[in-house]
């Protein structure tokens, strides 16, 4: 059975913001997209490892790496724009009871 841990309150992140979860190994970046949905992915960019917590969030749940500007889909991890070639590792997130819960 899948286990979830509460990692934030919904109000901790406004749309378009991120939070680095350092209690996980490897660290995870929690993202609230521009539509208000939550996503989580490994913090290290799949290209050469920049921290995605400083990424730019675009429409349609896309994150842009701050280093070389590769784009990845936050829903699936699919690479969207060079130099993104390798999929990002995404994690399941649920919102309930006013909290954001991450699958571990």
Closer CB to ligand FES, 14 or 85, in the complex: 85
34 in Cβ contact with 15 (< 8 Å): yes
Instruction: From 85, 97, 100, select the one nearest 4 (Cα to Cα).
Output: 100
**The only residue of 70, 74, 77, 90 in contact with ligand FES, by rule CB under 6 A:** 70
Query: Quick check: 67 binds ligand FES (CB under 6 A)?
Result: yes
**The only residue of 8, 40, 62, 65 in contact with ligand FES, by rule CB under 6 A:** 65
Residue 40: burial class (beta carbons within 10 Å; 0-12, 13-18, 19+): buried
Residues of the shown chain interacting with ligand FES in the complex, contacts defined by CB under 6 A: 45, 47-48, 50, 65, 67-68, 70, 83
């Amino acid at each position: 059975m899948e286990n979830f841990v509460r990692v934030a309150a919904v109000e901790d992140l406004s749309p378009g913001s991120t939070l680095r979860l350092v209690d996980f190994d490897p660290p995870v970046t929690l993202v609230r997209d521009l539509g208000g949905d939550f996503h989580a992915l490994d913090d290290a960019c799949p290209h050469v490892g920049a921290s995605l917590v400083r990424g730019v969030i675009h429409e349609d749940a896309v994150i842009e790496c701050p280093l070389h500007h590769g784009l990845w889909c936050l829903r699936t991890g699919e690479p969207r724009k060079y130099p993104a070639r390798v999929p990002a590792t995404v994690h399941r997130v649920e919102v309930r009871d006013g909290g954001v819960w991450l699958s571990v």
